Amino acid sequence: MKAVVMDGVKAPLVVRDVPVPEVGPRDALIKVMACGVCRSDWHLWQGDWSWVGLSLPMPAILGHEQAGVVEKVGAEVHLIKPGMRVLTPFHNGCGACSYCVSGDSNLCERAGRRTGGFAQYAVIGGADFNAIPLPDEVSFAAGAAMGCRFMTAYHGVADRGEVKGGDWVVVNGCGGIGLSAVQVAAALGAQVIAVDLDETKLSRARQEGALVTVDATDANVPARVREITGGGADVSVDALGIKATMLNSVGSLRKGGIHVQIGLTSAAEGGQVSLPIDAMVFSEIEFRGSLGNPHHHYRPMLNMVVSGKLNPESIVSERIALADVPKVIESMGNFGTVGFTSIEDFS
């Protein structure tokens, strides 16, 4: 099968023929129908996140936002059958640890990180738990987006941010996750302020439901947000993970506000950013991490997609072929992509 192969950190990505992956007794093999190219793929290609113990054995096939059709299943798979349309979260759950059984499968003790989506076929390990049926009404591109960026934004906004109607919500960084967060917060009835340096991305944010946009190029973002909201936002999301967006986000909150950290840092921060702790204590600001989306929260999210209240497909701005992946990943170093870039041609 054809796949985009990574031979080493920052080494040129190449499209070549590799064997179709083996299917273990609890696995499913899917024919990949769509796979998003996510900023996390770029981070892994850069060798980021070694500071949290994340590094891939080489050679590796990146790609963790895939949806497809089940081709075959292992002998111990009972619920997932060949021919089913499925998506899968980027975080594999074991289905048996205390986190998985209490519903927090995104925090699984034995979590595996999904890879292998930049290929014609991919394996979903522990398929009965980790393959999520994709309703017929939902496209493969939308399903792929719900493997990582869209579902990550959903969990960050709806669960960790506890966003409700009428809240002022700031979204810092309007890449794929940021635009998704804008859409989800607006669908929940919040008043959304989108912040970015790029007018194209801010214009996309307005299309996804942002009430106000702030160009951070020259603005003092916290001061501007306080002015717009009359004292600060209820919830603020850092969808990017650099020092500036994190500090702008925390500084934009009203007393008692919730900061949701979705973006992971890059080499410049190496996982460490100083925060204004005293100001956060005096204002009872909460700092919450948000990772992926627990498996059982797919149900409400998919319900909202089927009923049209959420629309991951509207954030797909480019549909590409497998052969285009290397240049798209390389362009992510200078934030060259807008919305979701989705591979739909695997020939």
* Interacting residues toward Zn ion by CB under 5 A: 38, 40, 93-94, 97, 100, 108, 148
In the complex, minimum distance from the CB of residue 283 to Zn ion, in angstroms, rounded to a whole number: 32
In the complex, minimum distance from the CB of residue 225 to Zn ion, in angstroms, rounded to a whole number: 27
> CA dihedral defined by 204, 208, 210, 216, rounded to 10 degrees?
-30
Residue 164 tokens, joined: 């409700």
- The answer to whether 221 and 248 are in contact (CB under 8 A) is yes
- What is the C-alpha radius of gyration for the chain, rounded to an integer number of angstroms? 19
Contacts of 238 (CB under 8 A, 6+ apart): 172, 173, 245, 246, 249, 259, 260, 261, 262, 263
Residue (108 or 187) nearer to Zn ion, CB = 108
In the complex, minimum distance from the CB of residue 95 to Zn ion, in angstroms, rounded to a whole number: 6
Determine if the peptide bond prior to 312 is cis (ω within 30°). Answer: no
3-class SS at 163? coil
Find the helix or strand (DSSP H, E) in which 261 lies.
strand 253-261
In the complex, minimum distance from the CB of residue 94 to Zn ion, in angstroms, rounded to a whole number: 4
Residue (37 or 202) nearer to Zn ion, CB = 37
In the complex, minimum distance from the CB of residue 335 to Zn ion, in angstroms, rounded to a whole number: 15
Cα 37 from Cα 320, distance rounded (Å): 10
Cα 216 from Cα 222, distance rounded (Å): 10
Nearest to 315 by CA among 235, 204, 238: 204
Residue (221 or 332) nearer to Zn ion, CB = 332
User: What phi and psi, each to the nearest 5 degrees, are found at residue 33?
Assistant: -105, -25
3-class SS at 172? strand
In the complex, minimum distance from the CB of residue 112 to Zn ion, in angstroms, rounded to a whole number: 10
Find the helix or strand (DSSP H, E) in which 296 lies.
none
Residue (80 or 94) nearer to Zn ion, CB = 94
Residue (134 or 145) nearer to Zn ion, CB = 145
Residue (40 or 139) nearer to Zn ion, CB = 40
In the complex, minimum distance from the CB of residue 100 to Zn ion, in angstroms, rounded to a whole number: 3
In the complex, minimum distance from the CB of residue 231 to Zn ion, in angstroms, rounded to a whole number: 34
E-strand ranges in 38-105 read: 66-73, 85-87, 91-92
> CA dihedral defined by 29, 151, 44, 67, rounded to 10 degrees?
20
Dihedral (CA of 28, 340, 172, 311) sign: negative
Residue (94 or 193) nearer to Zn ion, CB = 94
Residue (45 or 168) nearer to Zn ion, CB = 45
